[in-house]
Chains A and B, each alone.
Chain A
């Protein structure tokens, strides 16, 4: 085995191959791999973030639901209370109206009674005067005895 120029040829080939690999083969591959690594990293981070957001949203949703339920039951309770109040009020109003109408009717009756009494008294006075004038066979001056007659009428 003798050493000859093949050695030099091989060294040149080595230099060229290494240079080509370094310049043209390696960088593209390394970049692609790095990019993919970053993509996967981003994807994982995004999915993690998404999961957290979902959890948060779920918690929020539960809270809102709870609040809504609470509100609904509050409103229902209030409405019940209010309806009870309205019924009570209506009852009260009806009662007082009835009483008022009763009182009015009674007052009217009283008034009519009084009126009738007064009319009756007047008629009695007239009747009395007429009777007395018949008895006396002369005209009684109604005006002259007015005070007396009035007094009489009051005593009836």
Chain B
């Protein structure tokens, strides 16, 4: 690493810094945004290609896989969201695959992308988009917008306001109801995005911490691989990182599934009368 002089703290800080252009609010974390859009585009490209060629006859392996996903998502959204809506299932599919792909970036070796991009001239490049609160809040606030949209669509403006004011304690506790409902409404996107962010941030941090085991050797590969303590540290890092990665394989789809599932549940709650 270039800033080896500042030691472990510098290494971790470097790994947690985004590639940012602009200052203040009107700035972009281009690394997160680019990777996120790239992965979403990949998802659309793959599924769109298969969908274009989809036949009702015998499906090929690609179509089989895609149909498995579609059926899985369709089953969940039909079980959870009662009533007909052509938006819920595609949204759930998008969230599930997209978040899964973004989470999956966590399994890319921790130094690979920053070092490669560093060699190409970027100072900072964080490949895991979901450890950026902008990204997770971007997703969950979109879901919030959909929740409000669904409430308005299914209950009308009057119905929605009535529910905000009179539920759950009746008209005599109107201000209390309103506060409660707004808190409930806001808690949904906050819990969604913070859950995803927290899980992946912690996992990422543990990967970084494991990687600091051999940090003291820097690029002195020969020294590390010929000394006993260097070899032990190297083996320890490899084993620990492998174990954590294997465990993480469970977390990656689980967090994507939870995000998708809760979004569908929130939308179904918004569409139904209490």
Which residues does A use to contact B, with CB under 8 Å? 1, 3-11, 13-15, 17-18, 20-22, 24-26, 28-33, 35-36, 39
Min Cβ gap A2→B in Å is 8
- Candidates A9, A25, A36; contact of B28 at CB < 8 Å: A9
Leading 6 A-B pairs by shortest Cβ distance = A10-B138, A35-B56, A6-B134, A32-B54, A22-B90, A26-B90
Which residues does B use to contact A, with CB under 8 Å? 20, 22, 24-29, 32-33, 36-37, 40, 43-44, 47-48, 50-52, 54-57, 59, 63, 66-67, 70-71, 74, 86-87, 89-91, 93-94, 98, 132-135, 137-139, 141-142, 145
Additional A-B contacts beyond A9-B28, A14-B139, A29-B51 (14; CB < 8 A):
A3-B133, A4-B134, A6-B135, A9-B138, A13-B33, A13-B36, A13-B40, A14-B142, A17-B98, A18-B142, A22-B87, A28-B51, A29-B54, A36-B57
- Known contacts: A6-B29, A10-B36. The answer to whether A29 contacts B135 by CB under 8 A is no
Give the total number of A-B pairs whose CB atoms are below 8 A apart: 127
Q: Is the CB of B93 within 8 A of A6?
A: no
Q: Is the CB of B93 within 8 A of A26?
A: yes
For B134, what are the chain A residues with a Cβ–Cβ distance below 8 Å?
3-4, 6-7, 10
For A24, what are the chain B residues with a Cβ–Cβ distance below 8 Å?
48, 51
Can you name 23 A-B residue pairings with CB atoms under 8 Å?
A: A4-B134, A6-B27, A6-B134, A7-B134, A9-B33, A9-B138, A10-B32, A10-B137, A13-B37, A13-B138, A14-B94, A17-B98, A18-B142, A21-B90, A21-B93, A22-B91, A24-B48, A24-B51, A26-B70, A26-B89, A28-B54, A29-B66, A33-B70
Q: Is the CB of B137 within 8 A of A25?
A: no
Q: Is the CB of B28 within 8 A of A6?
A: yes
Q: Is the CB of B55 within 8 A of A32?
A: yes
Interface of A is mostly: helix
Min Cβ gap B118→A in Å is 21
For B37, what are the chain A residues with a Cβ–Cβ distance below 8 Å?
9, 13
Alpha-carbon distance A9/B132, docked complex (angstroms): 13
For A18, what are the chain B residues with a Cβ–Cβ distance below 8 Å?
87, 90-91, 94, 142
- Candidates B20, B47, B71; contact of A33 at CB < 8 Å: B71
For A29, what are the chain B residues with a Cβ–Cβ distance below 8 Å?
47, 50-51, 54, 66-67, 70
Min Cβ gap A8→B in Å is 8
Min Cβ gap A112→B in Å is 108
- Known contacts: A6-B29, A10-B134, A33-B71. The answer to whether A17 contacts B94 by CB under 8 A is yes
- Known contacts: A25-B51, A30-B70. The answer to whether A7 contacts B141 by CB under 8 A is yes
For A15, what are the chain B residues with a Cβ–Cβ distance below 8 Å?
142
Alpha-carbon distance A3/B141, docked complex (angstroms): 13
Alpha-carbon distance A29/B68, docked complex (angstroms): 11
For A33, what are the chain B residues with a Cβ–Cβ distance below 8 Å?
56, 67, 70-71
Q: Is the CB of A39 within 8 A of B51?
A: no
For A5, what are the chain B residues with a Cβ–Cβ distance below 8 Å?
22, 25-28
Alpha-carbon distance A136/B64, docked complex (angstroms): 153
- Candidates B26, B44, B48, B132; contact of A1 at CB < 8 Å: B132
